[in-house]
């Protein structure tokens, strides 16, 4: 069985899961196919992959904080004309007006915490990757265990078929003995009961296989097809060739759950540095430019005002000129004070800026340095919380390391015991078969009662069942050891 590393499924995690992966089709299934289908379809595992997208977004945000921020705004408004009052003074009436403005701003703020944040988020993302890898290994372990359980029940079903054949043979033997007058009807009845019990065991075993397949396909995240599905993978049965110490060393290096906790402990240390950076000053820069327009909706409003002002100037000039001519002074040339059409056109042209002929405002630029002095001990509290979290993460890491050693050791000892048990059960099954054959022959020649045959048959059946159980206990123990180490071992 191949180990699919983190790169393969992280590539898929970078995209939104919009649809279910390939659906199983066919009537044969290997354990590798089951694991791969589960990686593409298992809902719980696909949810865990979404954590990478969140971590990527946080890294992008932390890096973006190193860049300046910008903003742009545009506003427009309408003001109804009429007389307005200001501090109780009535202002002259005006025309309806429209106005617009824009502003483009650029701001930049930087401090030590902002500089350290990308490193913290990168480590946190690595921890998320390890979590996803751990979820992948857990999913693989679950699928392999379910696959082995299904194979086990298939072998049990085949064994029950064999045991039923044996029970039928016992019934035939009892009937033959009765037919020649050397048997009794009670032996036949007992044998018939044995066949009936074998029929029930066969039915139960076949139903268990179907239930196991349903659970296996549920883990795979796809619907089980209506037809029969044959599991084609086989698992070897060999003595473990690795030592406990080598497994523990390997597990400490590759176990994704332990690696994730190591990264979290590292990230907590970086977070302490970010909290302490709150004591350092912050630099901020800002600049911007903008403009505005103002326009009366009545194009003749300003023209009329200008014309009225010209008329008033002419009247004032004529009044002064009459006084000057009486005392013999030269005239002021009031006839030159005129309001021309060109001036009216220029005024109308100047009242046509709305909405985009802006009058630009002067550019602004500001810079500042902020130094924290006293913030009601909030910084001290944050540092203390970060240090406590770092210490807690260190304790969690230590606990996981101890748990890893215990889990690997327990799984290894269980595997050794399971392998030895298989050897013993093989011997017991062979002895039970010999005992059954011997009892059948003695009954055939009339040297033993039928009860000896049924007893030997029960012992044989239980020995065969125990043998099958021991074989798959070994396979399950091997899968459990792989799960404890955090990677496949065969």
308 in a structural domain: yes
Predicted pLDDT of residue 359: 87
Biggest CA pair distance of the chain = 174
Burial of 6 (0-12, 13-18, 19+ CB in 10 A): middle
Local confidence band at 16 (pLDDT 50, 70, 90 cut-offs): very low
| Tens digits of residue pLDDT in 117-136 | 999 999 999 999 999 999 99
72 in a structural domain: yes
For residues 229 and 28, give the distance between their C-alpha atoms in angstroms, rounded to a whole number.
6
The mean pLDDT value for 31-43 works out to 95
- Last-in-domain residue among 371, 404, 423: 371
Is residue 7 scored above 50 in pLDDT? Answer: no
30 in a structural domain: no
Identify the bridge partners of residue 78 per DSSP, sorted by sequence position: 98
Neighbours of 369 (CB within 10 A): 8
For residues 213 and 478, give the distance between their C-alpha atoms in angstroms, rounded to a whole number.
21
Q: What angle do CA 288, 290, 291 make, to 5 degrees?
A: 165
Is the preceding omega at residue 355 within 30 degrees of 0, hence cis? yes
Residues 453/170, Cβ–Cβ less than 8 Å? yes
The mean pLDDT value for 387-393 works out to 96
For residues 194 and 466, give the distance between their C-alpha atoms in angstroms, rounded to a whole number.
19
**Residue 345 shares a structural domain with residue 304:** yes
**Residue 287 shares a structural domain with residue 315:** no
Neighbours of 209 (CB within 10 A): 22
150-to-43, 170, 411, 414 alpha-carbon distances in Å: 22, 30, 21, 21
Predicted pLDDT of residue 90: 60
Higher pLDDT, 332 or 230: 230
103-to-50, 90, 295, 353, 459 alpha-carbon distances in Å: 39, 33, 19, 17, 93
Any idea which residue has 């705004």 for tokens? Answer: 73
Mean pLDDT of the chain: 88
Is residue 347 scored above 80 in pLDDT? Answer: yes
| Tens digits of residue pLDDT in 54-74 | 999 999 999 999 999 999 999
Is residue 467 scored above 90 in pLDDT? Answer: yes
337 in a structural domain: yes
Predicted pLDDT of residue 428: 95
**Residue 330 shares a structural domain with residue 362:** no
Residues 472/152, Cβ–Cβ less than 8 Å? yes
Residues 295/98, Cβ–Cβ less than 8 Å? yes
**Residue 308 shares a structural domain with residue 328:** yes
Identify the bridge partners of residue 439 per DSSP, sorted by sequence position: none
Pull the structure tokens for residue 443. 């009954």
**Residue 290 shares a structural domain with residue 314:** no
Q: What angle do CA 207, 424, 161 make, to 5 degrees?
A: 25
The mean pLDDT value for 248-255 works out to 96
132 in a structural domain: no
469 in a structural domain: no
Residues 57/19, Cβ–Cβ less than 8 Å? no
Pull the structure tokens for residue 136. 């992948």
Is residue 21 scored above 70 in pLDDT? Answer: no
293 in a structural domain: yes
| Tens digits of residue pLDDT in 84-101 | 656 666 656 678 889 999
If one counts the domains in the chain, the total is 2
Burial of 180 (0-12, 13-18, 19+ CB in 10 A): exposed
For residues 70 and 68, give the distance between their C-alpha atoms in angstroms, rounded to a whole number.
7
Domain that holds residue 334: 300-350
| Tens digits of residue pLDDT in 306-316 | 888 888 888 88
The mean pLDDT value for 393-402 works out to 96
Q: How far apart are the first and last CA of the chain?
A: 7
Predicted pLDDT of residue 308: 85
Any idea which residue has 């001990």 for tokens? Answer: 377
3-state secondary structure the chain: CCCCCHHHHHHHHCCCCCCCCCCCCCCEECHHHHHHHHHHHCHHHHHHHHHHHHHHHHHHHHHHCCCCEEEEEEEEEEECCCCCEECCEECCCCCCEEEEEEEEEEEEEECHHHHHHHHHHHHHHHHHHHHHHHHHHHHHHHHHHHHHHHHHHHHHHHHHHHHHHHHHHHHHHHHHHHHCCCCCHHHHHHHHHHHHHHHHHHHHHHHHHHHHHHHHHHHHCCCCCCCCCEECCCCCCCCCCCCHHHHHHHHHHHCHHHHHHHHHHHHHHHHHHHHHHHHCCEEEEEEEEEEEEEEECCCCHHHHHHHHHHHHHHHHHHHHHHHHHHCCCCCCCHHHCCCCHHHHHHHHHHCCCCCCCCEECCCEEEEEEECCCCCCCHHHHHHHHHHHHHHHHHHHHHHHHHHHHHHHHHHHHHHHHHHHHHHHHHHHHHHHHHHHHHHHHHHHCCCCCHHHHHHHHHHHHHHHHHHHHHHHHHHHHHHHHHHHHCCCCC
Residues 408/240, Cβ–Cβ less than 8 Å? no
417 in a structural domain: no
Is residue 397 scored above 70 in pLDDT? Answer: yes
């Amino acid at each position: 069985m191949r180990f699919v590393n983190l790169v393969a499924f992280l590539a898929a995690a970078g995209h939104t899961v919009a649809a279910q992966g390939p659906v199983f089709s066919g009537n044969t299934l290997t354990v590798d196919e089951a694991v791969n289908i589960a990686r593409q379809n298992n809902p719980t595992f696909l949810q865990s992959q979404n954590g990478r997208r969140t971590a990527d977004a946080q890294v992008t945000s932390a890096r973006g904080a190193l860049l300046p921020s910008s903003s742009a705004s545009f506003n427009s408004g309408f003001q109804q004309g009429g007389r307005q009052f200001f501090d109780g003074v009535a202002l002259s009436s005006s025309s309806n007006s429209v106005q617009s403005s824009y502003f483009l701003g650029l701001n930049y703020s930087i401090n030590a915490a902002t500089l350290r944040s990308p490193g913290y988020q990168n480590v946190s993302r690595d921890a998320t990757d390890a979590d996803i890898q751990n979820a992948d290994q857990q999913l693989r372990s679950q699928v392999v265990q379910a696959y082995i359980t299904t194979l086990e029940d298939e072998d049990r079903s085949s064994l029950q078929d064999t045991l039923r054949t044996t029970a039928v043979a016992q019934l035939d033997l009892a009937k033959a003995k009765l037919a020649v007058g050397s048997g009794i009807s009670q032996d036949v009845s007992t044998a018939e009961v044995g066949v009936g019990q074998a029929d029930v065991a066969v039915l139960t075993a076949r139903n268990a296989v179907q239930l196991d397949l349903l659970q296996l396909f549920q883990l795979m995240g796809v619907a089980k097809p209506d037809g029969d599905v044959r599991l084609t993978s086989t698992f070897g049965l060999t003595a473990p060739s690795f030592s406990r110490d080598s497994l523990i060393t390997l597990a400490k290096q590759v176990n994704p759950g332990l690696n994730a906790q190591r990264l979290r402990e590292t990230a907590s240390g970086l977070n302490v540095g970010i909290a302490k950076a709150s004591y350092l000053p912050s630099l901020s820069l800002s600049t911007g430019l903008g403009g505005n327009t103002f326009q009366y909706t009545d194009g003749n409003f300003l023209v009329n005002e200008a014309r009225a002002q010209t008329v008033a100037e002419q009247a004032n000039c004529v009044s002064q000129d009459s006084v000057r001519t009486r005392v013999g002074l030269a005239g002021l040339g009031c006839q030159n004070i005129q309001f021309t059409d060109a001036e009216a056109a220029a005024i109308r042209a100047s009242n046509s800026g709305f909405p985009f002929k802006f009058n630009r405002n002067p550019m602004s630029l500001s810079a500042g340095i902020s130094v924290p002095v006293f913030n009601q001990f909030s910084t001290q509290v944050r540092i203390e919380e970060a240090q406590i979290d770092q210490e807690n993460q260190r304790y969690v890491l230590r606990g996981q390391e101890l748990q890893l050693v215990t889990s690997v050791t327990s799984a290894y000892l269980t595997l050794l015991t399971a392998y030895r048990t298989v050897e013993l059960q093989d011997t017991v099954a062979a002895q039970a078969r010999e005992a059954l054959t011997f009892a059948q022959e003695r009954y055939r020649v009339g040297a033993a009662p039928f009860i000896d045959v049924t007893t030997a048959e029960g012992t044989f059946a239980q020995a065969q069942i125990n043998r099958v159980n021991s074989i798959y206990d070994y396979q399950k123990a091997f899968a459990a050891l792989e799960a404890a180490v955090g990677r496949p071992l065969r």
